[in-house]
Chains A and B, each alone.
Chain A
Amino acid sequence: MQIPYTVEARPDTGLYNAKLGVWLFLASEVMLFGALFSTYILLRTGAAEWPVGAEILNVPLATLNTMVLISSSVSMVLSWAALRLGEFKKFRLWLGTTFALGVGFMIIKTIEYGSKFEHHLYPSTDNFMAIYFTLTGLHGLHVLGGMIVMAYFLGPGSKMWKSEPDRFTNRIEVVGLYWHFVDLVWIFLFPTLYLL
């Protein structure tokens, strides 16, 4: 029993199933992070005073992290382009780079969090720290989730390239869309928390 349109696009919608599926999932993620941004707005406008992000948070480190994530987005899309050109080794190189940059992001994040804890700044300290930890923490969990999926496709999941290359390429495209979204969220998170 075959489910139609798992690989080839359905003519009237122009999409294969997983492509539509991942965009729908990303739409729900927009609402998830949107709710947290709404939380930030409401808490900040209701607060008598609100700290200056740059004075508490590490702007240089976060700027570096922004560059790391942007780079990982490029390497991700290059890995997919390599697959479309049939270059499996290049695909592994670029996907591996993306994964490594993800590791880098998490290391820098750990350093940041560690430094906050050292200065006795916890989520319970005040609402700025609370929303900072919650927003970046949830984002970090999404980074980790993406990395787990990438590890799968670098490892056991890559077998599909031999048996169903088009379906495998589609899967990498879908992973890429998710990863770019994670980058996109950070693009808004960074100025909101660190620079405003």
Chain B
Amino acid sequence: MNVLEKNKATAEDHAGHHEEPFWRKYIFSQDHKVIGVQYGFTALFFLLFGFTLMLIMRWQLAFPGKPVPIIGGLLGAANAPGGIMLPEFYNQLGAMHGTIMVFLGVVPILVGAFGNYVVPLQIGAPDMAFPKLNMASYWCYLPGGLIMLASFFVPGGAANSGWTSYPPLSNIATQGQTWWLVGMIFLITSSLLGSVNFIVTIFQLRCEGLTFMRLPYMIWSQLVTAFLLLLAFPPLEAAGILQLMDRVAGTSFFMPSGLVVSGEILEVAGGGNPLLWQHLFWFLAHPEVYVLILPAMGIVAEVIANNTRKPLWGYNAMVYSGVFLGFMSFIVWAHHMFLTGMGTAISSFFQTTTMIISVPSVVILTALLMSLWGGSIRFNTPMLFALAFLPMFGIGGLTGLPLGLAPSDIHLHDTYYVIGHFHYVVAPGTIFAIFAGIYYWFPKITGRQMSERLGKLHFWPSFIFINGVFMPMFIQGLAGVSRRLYDGGAQYTHAKDVLHWNTFISMSAWMLMVAQIPFIINLFWSIKKGAKVGANPWEATTLEWSAAPSPPIGHGNFPQIPVVTRGPYEYSPPGTDKTFLPQDAAAQEG
């Protein structure tokens, strides 16, 4: 380096940083806040897309054989000749709705968006432990997502064997399944890189004074979630490789001997085991559902503590339950396989672990409910969503119990009851928590507040219509209506009395879509025109509100690295006039 270059470098160091070019600052950023926002917008798009797939599906269920209105012509003759959806296309919509919502929507927004943005700020860190790895995670996620979207346009369309991709069906399925597998490998890689980053960040970059039992519950939930992703995803990656080998290299990992397809014996070596796929898939997919709920509980905990103006009730119990839940989640998976010809010994094992795992969930839900007792509740939009989460998650959790017990599961497995159960936990459960989080942290990200009026216009119809979508599914499921039926159950006499619910459910779903319009308008309008607010409009205690007023991009988050002196929820602290004390308030106060 010559003298001129050396001087420039020194001057840059003294100035803190020179301005980075646009593509480095906003596109290939290593700043966790930018990456968090990138994940956020990308995932919201995928959520909307996945939701739209379902809205199209629901037309076929409400008005079987009728042309899909407005967009019917756009679907293409291969999918919907004359606008009337083919069963093959219906199956694509179903498989991709599930895949996109879980892997491209909910997890990326919970972990990639909220986790990335909030975690370093809440622990007093300048960024994640491995900023380059963080960037790599996002840039593995996006191609994975685009590959999934692109698969709709290949011959035979997208994957159509359910999000669960069971062989032998998925082995012999159209090209789209191979695209699905490749997309999954990108997504799993993104996830693994991210989970390493989160765990190291939380263990290593906590600021001084921030001991584990002083961590906001948001951080605990992200920590447990990261461990689930780290250890549960690899078996699905292995399974994906095995299925790719079956489809592309002609192996028979999942192909049993003597399989006959369309009247012809398949020319494969055979000797494979379709149940092997189910074991490897569910080994991931069960912990995956806790990945879907734990960060949501973290968000709800933050919003509830803040809007009751009192500490969380049972923080210790919530922490221990969260950790125990994470551990148990690895040994319950075969409750998804009760009907595969399981013997009573192994079935009893999984029923027992499944019943045990319901306990920590109940503890966490109870603690959140008890946290409301005696609180000064502020019914702002984030709080409305957080409050609604509680009974909705309760319904979702309770309806899981008969599924976790084999005798009742015999009747309910693969029916609409299951769809009702898991949607209650994820849709008015997790997604409501996501909305709560967006309304809550929007002021930190943008320095502006979202409109409360539009927020309530978003909340109330959403709450009503989402129940309209999923509650009747329990009725249909109990009557024996199977899932993934193109005709919605019309071919079965045992379904005839509950078929009418299909129209009701579909109408509720379309109204639910309409209810999201105020949110979309609010989100984009408020970025530019929302009411400007200070650093801590919610009067919250956690570090992102007090110590990081308006965190700049690329310059580290804190003017001074905070020192934590107290727990995360010192609302209405005794012995002082203050209504709340931030975590880094001076030690003598309160």
Docked-complex contact A130 and B127, CB < 8 angstroms: no
- Let me know if B388 is at the binding interface, CB within 8 A: no
A31 CB contacts on chain B under 8 angstroms: 231-232, 234-235
- Let me know if B323 is at the binding interface, CB within 8 A: no
Q: Interface readout for A1-41 with B: 1 if CB under 8 Å, 0 if not? A: 11111000010010101101100110111011011101100
Q: How far is the CA of A2 from the CA of B237 in the complex (A)?
A: 34
- Let me know if A46 is at the binding interface, CB within 8 A: yes
Q: Interface readout for A45-61 with B: 1 if CB under 8 Å, 0 if not? A: 01110000000000000
Given known A-B contacts A13-B204, A134-B245, A42 and B273 have beta carbons under 8 A apart: yes
B283 CB contacts on chain A under 8 angstroms: 35
Docked-complex contact A24 and B230, CB < 8 angstroms: yes
Q: How far is the CA of A130 from the CA of B251 in the complex (A)?
A: 6
Closest residue on chain A to residue B555 by CB atoms: A1
Chain A proximity of B189: nearest CB distance (Å): 11
Closest residue on chain A to residue B232 by CB atoms: A31
- Let me know if B131 is at the binding interface, CB within 8 A: yes
- Let me know if B242 is at the binding interface, CB within 8 A: yes
Q: How far is the CA of A48 from the CA of B237 in the complex (A)?
A: 28
Contact of B272 among A28, A34, A35, A127 (CB under 8 A): A127
B556 CB contacts on chain A under 8 angstroms: 1
Contact of A17 among B126, B204, B232, B250 (CB under 8 A): B204
- Let me know if B121 is at the binding interface, CB within 8 A: no
- Let me know if B268 is at the binding interface, CB within 8 A: yes
Given known A-B contacts A32-B238, A46-B273, A130 and B200 have beta carbons under 8 A apart: no
Closest residue on chain A to residue B277 by CB atoms: A39
Q: How far is the CA of A34 from the CA of B241 in the complex (A)?
A: 14
Residues of B in contact (CB 8 Å), total 45
Contact of A42 among B17, B276, B555 (CB under 8 A): B276
8 Å CB contacts to A: which residues of B227-249? 230-235, 237-239, 241-242, 245, 249
Contact of B251 among A15, A34, A124 (CB under 8 A): A124
Closest residue on chain B to residue A19 by CB atoms: B200
- Let me know if A123 is at the binding interface, CB within 8 A: yes
Docked-complex contact A35 and B250, CB < 8 angstroms: no
Residues of A in contact (CB 8 Å), total 40
Docked-complex contact B241 and A138, CB < 8 angstroms: yes
Docked-complex contact B127 and A1, CB < 8 angstroms: yes
Given known A-B contacts A3-B131, A21-B196, A15 and B234 have beta carbons under 8 A apart: no
Closest residue on chain A to residue B276 by CB atoms: A42
Main secondary structure of the interface of A (DSSP, over half): helix
Q: How far is the CA of A174 from the CA of B476 in the complex (A)?
A: 55
Docked-complex contact A130 and B269, CB < 8 angstroms: yes
- Let me know if B252 is at the binding interface, CB within 8 A: yes
A125 CB contacts on chain B under 8 angstroms: 269
Given known A-B contacts A3-B127, A31-B234, A126 and B205 have beta carbons under 8 A apart: no
- Let me know if A43 is at the binding interface, CB within 8 A: yes
Contact of B235 among A2, A24, A32 (CB under 8 A): A32
A17 CB contacts on chain B under 8 angstroms: 129-130, 200, 204
Docked-complex contact A24 and B242, CB < 8 angstroms: no
Docked-complex contact B204 and A20, CB < 8 angstroms: yes
Docked-complex contact A35 and B269, CB < 8 angstroms: no
Closest residue on chain B to residue A4 by CB atoms: B205
Q: How far is the CA of A20 from the CA of B232 in the complex (A)?
A: 19
Chain A proximity of B266: nearest CB distance (Å): 12
Q: How far is the CA of A10 from the CA of B235 in the complex (A)?
A: 32
- Let me know if B271 is at the binding interface, CB within 8 A: yes
B268 CB contacts on chain A under 8 angstroms: 124
8 Å CB contacts to A: which residues of B199-234? 199-200, 203-205, 230-234
Closest residue on chain B to residue A45 by CB atoms: B273
Q: How far is the CA of A120 from the CA of B197 in the complex (A)?
A: 45
Q: A3-B131, A31-B234 are in contact. List 4 more A-B contacts (CB 8 A).
A: A1-B126, A18-B130, A31-B235, A126-B252
Q: Which residues of A contact B (CB under 8 A)?
A: 1-5, 10, 13, 15, 17-18, 20-21, 24-25, 27-29, 31-32, 34-36, 38-39, 42-43, 46-48, 122-127, 130-131, 133-134, 138
